[in-house]
Structure formats: structure tokens, C-alpha cells
Amino acid sequence: MAKTLFQKVWEAHTVRKLPNGQTQLFIGTHLIHEVTSPQAFGMLRDLGLKVKYPQRTFATVDHIVPTNELKEPYSDPIAQEMIEALRKNTKDYGIRFFDTTTGTQGIVHMVGPEQGITQPGTTIACGDSHTATHGAFGAIAFGIGTTQVRDVLATQTLALSPLKVRRIEVNGKLAPGVYAKDVILHIIRVLGVNGGIGFAYEYAGTTFDGFSLEERMTVCNMSIEGGARCGYVNPDQKTFDYIKGKPFAPKAADWDAAVARWASFASDAGCRYDDVKVFKAEDIRPTVTWGITPGQAIFIDEKMPALETLNAADRQTAEDAYAHMKLAPNTPIKGTKVDVCFLGSCTNGRISDLREVAKYLKGRKVSPSVKAIVVPGSQLTAIQAVHEGLDKIYIEAGFEWRGAGCSMCLAMNPDKLVGDQLCASSSNRNFKGRQGSQTGRTVLMSPLMVAAAAITGQVTDAREVFKV
């Protein structure tokens, strides 16, 4: 019988059926960070349990790392306490920690792929909702709560129920200036922020075939913003090429067998999906959010929705959004004044993002009214970018060049909005208060759109600012 990748991976990792009808699923790869793991280690100690497969858990530190302080102790004692707790826990239990001192630290969803830990046909769990990022490699990857982090540490398994699978096909070629970020913002806009509840999203079609692994990661990353706990792309030659030679990739003698195995996990032709949605790449234009959920998005050249056009529930959220964002219905978002520009995060803080923007940034200057920061998602990305001289281009243009971490994606480190500042951001969430100020405002967009906003001081169409 023809099967989806989801079904095949699920079956290969099924341990047994639990008395409550759920599946005990083996988690091949477990990633942890400093925010959602300390309580789990605490529970483990309380129960007198050990870490069952310490070699299958990998740790990094990302959320609390200050991006402009390289030395410890950090000026925030709580951040210092959290990094030290992780050091102690990983040492006590023999878990590999990509610490800040190793040159390999970074946002957890960047470290896995960079190290070759993220592989096709595997199950990956992490106490972080953006774990679906790893699905770009054809893994079944999803976010879990802290008690579940305990479960994985203690047993390397979870109690789960299978998801339905929705195939989301995008076909054709994106127009210049339109990026993977626009694709996912558009998908969420159309299918809704809760449209994916109960589903794994399989992203497919010729647009995805043409995407690099980094572009696929950008899309899979935001599956959760569409309500889907997990999203993936079937593995292909590009996937295998990306993994080859990475530190944790299979070695030469095992390589061919690994590739054959990985390829066998791809969804079979003629398999049954619970739902299929089809999009045309040429219908997608640069997309920005105007509200307080990622689904409140429009093309840059559209007007924000008039309240009368919305149904009752959407209207209530929209009214709340307009009040918070200090924006008016039925007006263009283009031209809205921007105070801060943030280029980074696990959605768009990769080397390809930094390269793409740098290509256009040469010789341009950030508007004097704007504070612009660029934060490579990982130390390896930062090292590579410096090697290519990208840091100079950004600094020359007036961006602050920072160390690796989550930075302004969320308010757990010193990078925060102040008051009602409006931030053009390449991150993934525009929730109220997400960027550290209760009244702060976030407009999500692609990296090049962030750069265009930095230069003009406004939410603007990058295609008009740069020769794309």
C-alpha cells in the first residue's frame, strides 16, 4: 500500500500501543535548550530516573544569550543561572552540549542541521514549537512541553496520537523579490492560524523541488503558526547533498546505505492524503503582517482589511489588532513608519538569508531614524558570514552586527523593543508583547523586505527599493 512519509516514519518508530490507545513513539533525536529543560531535569531527579539514551539528546543555548556580550558572567544573573544549569545538567547526564565556547552554539533549529544531526526518516522532538524546522529534511519533527522533555530523557519515547496529513502543493516559479518567507506567510493567511490543528503539513510541488534546504527550513519553521505541529518536505538529492560531510553525517562506509534508506521514506506516488491544497507560485507577492497573529497578513501593495469584510470572530481579533498596532482599516500598510529592523531568528537567520540581503545592501545606508540589527542564528553562520566579508557590508550600511542567538525574536534577552516601537522583523511571531515591550508592534516579512524597511524607514516594497 502506498504510504506518506509521515506514516512510514511513524511505523518505523512505533514501540507499542499504550493502554489509552495512544502510540508509544521512539524519539530518535532529542534537542534541548536552556528554557524548557531545567524543570524536566528537576522532575527526573525527583523521580530518581536516569537519562536513558544520553547520546541521542543534544543541547544548545539560544534564547537567553545576550548577543552583544561575549564574556560571562552575563550582566543578567538569571541568564547566567540558566546557562549554568544547562552546563550542569548536560555534564551530570553525559549529554553533548554545543556551548558558547565551542564555536558551534546557535539557535537549536540551526544547530541540528548544521551538525548533520537532522536527518531524513527520523523522529525529532524538542521543547520548542518551531521544531518543525527540521522537517525540511524529511524528518517528523515537533515541539513538546517540559513534562514531555522529561519523558524523552527518561525513556526516549513519547505517548502520542498520529496526525492527519495535508499535502500543500505550491507549483511554479516565484517572481523576483518573492521568497520562501512570503510563501509560508501566504499559506497561513489562506489556511488560517488554526487551519493546521490535527495535521502534519507535507509541503510539495515544483516550487519546493526548486527550493534550497534553507528555504525549505524557512517554510517548515512556521508550520506551527498555521496550527500544524509538524511540517515536512520529502527528502531528495538536495537533502542528501546538504547533509554530506557534516560532523554527524553517516561516514563514507555507511553513506550509500543511509541515502538509500532516507530515499525510501519519501511519500509514495499514489498515497492517500487526508487533505490537499494547491497554490500557484506566481500568485504570491511580498507579504507582510499587519496584526497580532501571523495570519493577519496582506501583500505589500494591498490595503489592510476593512472591518465590514470580516466575519464576526475575525472582526473581533482585527479590532484588537488595529488598536494594538495603531493602524487603520482599509488603508495601505506601505509607508508605515518603522523604528527597528531585525534580521535574524530560526526562520531567517541563515547564511543564505544574510547573503541574499548583503547582495542588495552594498552601497546603501540605513535610515538615521531606524535602529537595525542583524543577528546570525548560529556561531557557524556568523563565522562563515565574516569569512565572506558580509559583516562589513552590514556594518557599512549601518546595521549592528551581533553574536548568535534568538535575540529580538522574543523577550528573554536584552534585545527588546521599547514602548510602542514598530519593528520590521524577519522572525515568525507578531504576538502582542512578543518582542519585549507590552505595546511594541511587530510586522513580519522576508529578510529583503526588512532591509528595504531599514533603508527607507518605512514598511515598503523591496522590489521598488532594490533592483531585484
Residue 62 binds which of another protein, ligand SF4, none (CB < 5-8 A, kind-dependent): ligand SF4
Q: How far is the CB of 168 from another protein (least distance, A)?
A: 18
Distance CA 297, CA 316 (A): 16
Helix, strand, or coil (residue 171): strand
Choose among ligand SF4, another protein, none what residue 432 binds, the Cβ cut-off being 5 to 8 Å by kind.
Answer: another protein
CA 59 from chain center: how many Å? 17
Show Cβ contacts of residue 77 under 8 Å, excluding neighbours closer than 6 positions. none
Q: Is 192 exposed, middle or buried (0-12, 13-18, 19+ CB in 10 A)?
A: middle
Say how many C-beta atoms besides its own lie within 10 A of residue 369's C-beta.
Answer: 10
**By CB under 6 A, is residue 406 in contact with ligand SF4?**
yes
Least distance (Å) between residue 276 CB and another protein: 21
Q: Is 102 exposed, middle or buried (0-12, 13-18, 19+ CB in 10 A)?
A: exposed
- Give the three-class secondary structure for 350: coil
Q: Which stretch binds another protein (CB under 8 A): 300-308, 313-321, 372-380, 445-453?
A: 313-321
The entry of ligand SF4, another protein, none near residue 408 (CB within 5 to 8 angstroms by kind) is none
Q: Which stretch binds ligand SF4 (CB under 6 A): 303-311, 360-368, 404-412, 417-425?
A: 404-412
Q: Which of 199, 192, 434 is nearest to 294 (CA)?
A: 192
- Residue 339 sits in the site that holds ligand SF4 (CB under 6 A): no
Question: What is the SS3 assignment for 458?
Answer: strand
Task: Identify the CA nearest to 205 among candidates 137, 310, 276, 259.
Answer: 276
> What residues numbered 8-67 form the site for another protein, per CB under 8 A?
12-16, 18-22, 24, 26, 28-29, 35-36, 38-39, 42, 47, 49, 52-53, 55-56, 63-64
Which cell goes with 455? 533603508
Place of cell 503539513: 201
Question: Which residues 6+ apart lie within 8 Å of 368 measured at CB?
Answer: none
Residue among 435, 135, 381 nearest 267 (CA): 135
Q: Is 130 helix (H, G, I), strand (E, B) or coil?
A: helix
| Contact status: 119 vs another protein (CB under 8 A) | yes
Evaluate the CA torsion angle 72, 392, 375, 423 in order and state its sign: positive
Q: Choose, by CB under 6 A, the member of 44, 95, 107, 373 that binds ligand SF4.
A: 107
29 contacts: CB under 8 Å, gap ≥ 6 = 56, 58, 112, 117, 118, 119, 122, 123, 124, 125, 139
Residue 428 interacts with, from another protein, ligand SF4, none (CB under 5-8 Å by kind):
ligand SF4
Is residue 428 a contact residue for ligand SF4 (CB under 6 A)? yes
Touching another protein, residues 406-465 (CB under 8 A): 410-412, 419, 429, 431-434, 436-439
* Residue with Cβ nearer ligand SF4 (130 or 463): 130
Identify which of residues 92 and 254 has a Cβ nearer to another protein in the complex.
254
Strands 140-143 and 199-204: unpaired
Which residue's entry shows cell 537595525?
A: 372
Residue 245 interacting entry, from ligand SF4, another protein, none, C-beta within 5 to 8 Å by type: none
Q: How many residues belong to the site for ligand SF4 (CB under 6 A)?
A: 13
* Under rule CB under 6 A, residue 181 binds ligand SF4: no
- Report if residue 114 touches ligand SF4, rule: CB under 6 A: no
- CB 104, min distance to another protein, A: 19
Closest CA relative to residue 267, chosen from 130, 143, 140: 140
Partner that binds at residue 402, options ligand SF4, another protein, none, CB closer than 5 to 8 Å by kind: none
Question: Does 346 help bind ligand SF4 (rule: CB under 6 A)?
Answer: yes
How far, in Å, CA of 405 to CA of 68, rounded?
A: 10
CA-nearest of 172, 127, 167 to 151 is 127
Measured from the CB of residue 342, what is the shortest distance to ligand SF4 in angstroms? 10
CB of 1 to ligand SF4, least distance (A): 37
Nearer to ligand SF4, 174 or 445 (CB): 445
Instruction: Decide if residue 313 touches another protein (CB under 8 A).
Output: yes
Strands 275-280 and 164-171: parallel
The terminus-to-terminus CA distance of the chain in angstroms comes to: 46
Does 371 help bind another protein (rule: CB under 8 A)? no
Is position 350 an interface residue for ligand SF4 (rule: CB under 6 A)?
Answer: no
Q: Rank residues 2 and 257 by Cβ distance to another protein and give the closer one.
A: 257
Considering only residues 123 to 152 of the shown chain, the ones binding another protein according to CB under 8 A are 127-129, 131, 143-148, 150-151
Residue 317 binding another protein, by CB under 8 A: yes
Interacting residue ranges for ligand SF4, rule: CB under 6 A? 62-63, 107, 109, 128, 130, 345-346, 406, 409-410, 427-428
